[in-house]
Chains A and B, each alone.
Chain A
Amino acid sequence: DVKVTQSSRYLVKRTGEKVFLECVQDMDHENMFWYRQDPGLGLRLIYFSYDVKMKEKGDIPEGYSVSREKKERFSLILESASTNQTSMYLCASSLNLAGTGELFFGEGSRLTVL
C-alpha cells in the first residue's frame, strides 16, 4: 500500500515563527502536493512538485515555500507564520498526471498559529 506520512499531526506555533511541515512517501511517486483544507473552501493547492528540486505554485502560494531535495520527501515551509495560516495541511503524492491516476493523501497536519 502507498503510504504518505506527515510527521507532525498537530502543531501550535506563535505568530512570526518559522514552521516546517514534513511529508514522506514510500512508493517512488514522481509528483507531490501540498493542499490546505478549510471548512467550506475544500482543498486548495499550495504548491506541487513533479520532480526533485522542481516546484510549481498552486492556487494559494503566498506566505509559503517548499523544498524537495529527495524524491520521497516534500516539505512545506511557512517563513513567518500568521494567524490566517491556521489550518489543516494535507500532503499528497501521485504517480501520473492528474487525468490518469489517483492522489494518495497523508493524514494531515493541523496547524494552529497563536
Chain B
Amino acid sequence: QQQVKQSPQSLIVQKGGISIINCAYENTAFDYFPWYQQFPGKGPALLIAIRPDVSEKKEGRFTISFNKSAKQFSLHIMDSQPGDSATYFCAAGSSGTYKYIFGTGTRLKVLA
C-alpha cells in the first residue's frame, strides 16, 4: 500500500513531441505528489508538484494531471527538448509523516 508504481521505465521522444510518464498509488492518505528531475551526476531536484484538490497543474511546458478516483497522476512534457533528457521520479507524501515514497524512475531521452 506504500508503493508508487511508475511507468514506463524508459522513454524515447523526438524533439518537439510530448513525453508522458505515469504513476499510480494505493494509499489514500497521500496528499502531496511531486515530480523530481535528475540529470546525470546530479541529485534529484523538484520539478513540479500537485495536491489532490486540483486535477491539473501547469508550469511552463510541464503539466501534472491528477485523477483522484483512479489514484493516478502523470507528468506531461510538451514540446520536449534534448535538454529535458533526464531521469524523472514521481513521489508521494503525506502530511502526517516525514517519509516520501518514490517511484522507480523513468529515463527520458529526447532526440534532436
CB distance from B28 to the nearest CB of A (A): 13
Chain A residues, CB < 8 A from B105: 40, 42-43
Please measure, in the bound complex, the distance between the C-alpha atom of A48 and the C-alpha atom of B97, giving whole angstroms: 11
* Segment among A14-22, A66-74, A79-87, A101-109 that sits at the interface with chain B: A101-109
Quick one: CB contact mask for B36-48 with A, threshold 8 Å, 1 for yes?
A: 1000011111100
Q: Is B32 an interface residue (CB 8 A)?
A: yes
Q: Which among B44, B89, B94 is the interface contact of A99 at CB below 8 angstroms?
A: B94
Contact A43 B102 (CB under 8 A): yes
CB distance from A98 to the nearest CB of B (A): 3
Residue of A nearest to B44 (CB): A105
Given contacts A40-B104, A42-B89, A100-B32, A90 and B97 within 8 Å (CB-CB): no
Chain A residues, CB < 8 A from B93: 97-99
Q: Is B85 an interface residue (CB 8 A)?
A: no
* Number of chain A interface residues as a range: 20 to 34
Interface of B toward A, CB cutoff 8 Å: 6, 9, 30-32, 34, 36, 41-46, 49, 89, 93-100, 102-105
5 other A-B residue contacts (CB within 8 Å) besides A31-B98, A105-B45: A40-B104, A98-B98, A103-B34, A103-B100, A105-B44
A-B contact pairs, 18 of them (CB 8 A): A35-B102, A48-B98, A50-B98, A90-B43, A92-B43, A97-B94, A98-B93, A99-B31, A99-B96, A100-B95, A102-B46, A103-B44, A105-B36, A105-B43, A105-B45, A106-B43, A107-B41, A107-B42
